Amino acid sequence: MTPLTFSQRLDHVARQIVPCLSVLILILISAIPFHLPFWGVIAPMLSLPAIFYWAVHRPDLIPPSMAFLLGLFQDAIIGTPLGVGALILLLMQGGVSAQSTVFYGKSFLINWWGFGMVTAPAMLLFWLLVSMIDSALVPFLPVVFQYLIMIGLYPVLNWLLARLQYAALRQEI
C-alpha cells in the first residue's frame, strides 16, 4: 500500500470527525430558541439519538472519551449540573457499542425499538441525578414527554445520519 499524501490524510481525518461534529451540531441545534409554546419545557436532547446511531454503526469514531466530552459540552450549554449529561452519553455509548451486534445491520424497526429501550433508563437516570443534585424532585411528566418526542424524532434523525454516513464515510470501513 502506497503511503498517503498529505491531502489524502487530511481528507481521511475530516471524514473521521464527521460523527463527533454531527453530535456537536445537534447539541447546538437543541439550544436554538424555537419560539414554540411549551417547547421550552419538553425540548428533546438531540444528542441521545445521534450517540445511539453512531454507537451502532461506527462505535470506533465516537470513543468513550469523545462521548464524555460531548456530554460535558451539552451540560454547559443546557445548564444541567456538569457531569450528568457526560455520564449519560458515556453510558449510552459504552452500553450500545458493546451490544452493537444486536442492532447492526438489522431492520430499522429493531433499531428504533432498541433506541426506545436504551433511552428509557438513560432518561430515568438523568432525572434521578438532577433531582439528587438539585435536592428537589424535578417534575417527571415533562421528562416522559421529552422521551416520547425523542422517540418520535428518531426516524428522522436516523435517516439524516444514515445519509451523512453514506456521504462522508462510505469509502472507509
* Residue 110 or 132 having the CB closest to another protein: 132
Nearer to another protein, 8 or 65 (CB): 65
Considering the complex, state which of residue 31 and residue 102 has its C-beta at the smaller distance from another protein: 31
- Cell readout for 71 is 456530554
Residue 36 CB, shortest distance to another protein, in Å, is 6
Residues forming contacts to another protein in the complex (CB under 8 A) are 28-45, 64-65, 68, 71-73, 75-84, 86-87, 90-91, 94, 126-127, 129-130, 133-134, 136, 138-139, 142-143, 145-146
Closest CB 96 distance from another protein, rounded Å: 13
Which residues are within 8 A (CB) of 55 and not within 5 positions of it... i.e. 6 or more apart? 62, 92, 93, 96, 97, 100
| CB of residue 7 to another protein, shortest distance in Å | 27
Q: Print burial letters for 90-112: b (CB count within 10 Å at least 16), e (below 16).
A: bbbbeebbeebeebeeeeeeebb
Q: Which of 53, 127, 46, 151 is nearest to 96 (CA)?
A: 53
Answer for the pair 152, 99: CB distance below 8 angstroms, yes or no.
no
- Closest distance of CB 118 from another protein, Å: 17
Residue 85 · residue 78 · CB < 8 Å? yes
Instruction: For residue 79, give the 3-state DSSP assignment.
Output: coil
Q: Would you say 3 or 33 has its CB closer to another protein?
A: 33
